[in-house]
Structure 1
Amino acid sequence: MKLLTLIGSFCTMGFGVWHFFVPKAWNWYSYIVPEATELVAAVRAINVFFSLSLILFGAANLLVVFGAKNRYASIVLLSVSTVLWAVRCMMQLIYPQGSINPALQYGMLTAFILIFVCFASAALLAAFGKQPSLS
C-alpha cells in the first residue's frame, strides 16, 4: 500500500508542478482574444488552483499514509484521490486532450490510468488488506 501511495503521490505532485508551466508551453492564451481579460484571468486562476491542488493532494496522501497511524484518514484520502484520478481517466476517454499527437493523447491516458490504479489499489489495501509495517 505504501509503495503504491508513494508512486501515485509523486506522480500527482509531478503533474501539479508540470501544470504550472503548461499554459506557456502550449501557448494557451493565444487562443483567447486579447480583449477577454477576465477570461484570461479566470483560466490562469483555475490552472494555478488546479496545479496547487494536485501538489497538496499528493503531499497530503504521503503525510497521512506515512505519518502516524490513522487508518480511517488514510482510507478517506486515498479514496478521494482515487475518485479524482478516475474522473480524469473518464475525461481523457470522453474528451481527450493531446489529440493533435496520438502518442501524447494515449501517453496521458496511460499515465492517468496507472496513477488511478496505484491509488485505487492502495485504498483497497488500506480498507481491506493487512497493514504491513515498513518501519
Structure 2
Amino acid sequence: MANLSERLAERAKKTATEKGRGRSAFLALKPEIQHALDQGWSAKEIWSLLLEEDKIAISYSVFLRYIRANGMRGGEVSSDLPQPPAVAPSPPSQEVAPASLQEQPTASRERPTQSGLSGTGSSNFKLDSKPDKGSLV
C-alpha cells in the first residue's frame, strides 16, 4: 500500500480542478519536499524529479512561490536563494592612486563647448521657442 502522501497526490490528480490541481499535488507532497529541503537538496532538483515522476505538473516559478508561501526553507544548502558572503568584505585600502588616475579639481577641468573648443565661456546657443518657418525643411 502506498503512503498517505502518494495516495493524496494520486487523488488530487483525479479529482481537483485544473486550476487547483498543482497546489493540491504540492500540498500532498509538502512533508517530503520539506524533508528534502532540510537535507540540503535544492528546490530546482526537487521540482525536476517530481516533474519527471509526474507527481506535479507546475512550473518551477510556481513551485518556488508555493515553497515561499508555505514558509518552507531548506537546511544549510540552497542554490535558489542568494547567500550572504562567508567573510565580511575588507575595508578599502589606503593606497594612493597614481597622479594620472586621481580626481582633478573641478576648476581645472575644462569642458568642450559646442564648437569643440575648450574654454569656460558661454556658447552661442540660443533657444527660440518659435521656429523660423523658412528654415524648416
- TM-score, scaled relative to structure 2: 0.28
Higher share of residues assigned helix: 1
The one of the two structures with greater contact order (alpha-carbon pairs below 8 A, sep at least 6) is: 1
Compare CA radii of gyration and give the structure with the larger one.
2
